[in-house]
Amino acid sequence: MDFLSGLIGSVNWETLVQLAMLALIVIAGPAVIFVLAFRGGDL
């Protein structure tokens, strides 16, 4: 169990959260375009 707590403590959470937010923003662009195309261009 000590290994697990050491692993969790060594993770850089701020960087991980920033990368997750960046991924959401990058995925959101094409997703909006896909939804617009699927709905025929109507918002």
Q: What is the reported pLDDT for 1? A: 54
Q: What is the reported pLDDT for 17? A: 94
Instruction: Compute the distance between CA of residue 39 and CA of residue 20 in angstroms, rounded to an integer.
Output: 28
pLDDT tens string 1-43: 566 677 677 878 899 999 999 999 999 999 999 988 988 876 6
Q: What is the reported pLDDT for 22? A: 97
Extents of the domains making up the chain: 11-43
Q: What is the reported pLDDT for 43? A: 64
Instruction: Compute the distance between CA of residue 31 and CA of residue 26 in angstroms, rounded to an integer.
Output: 9
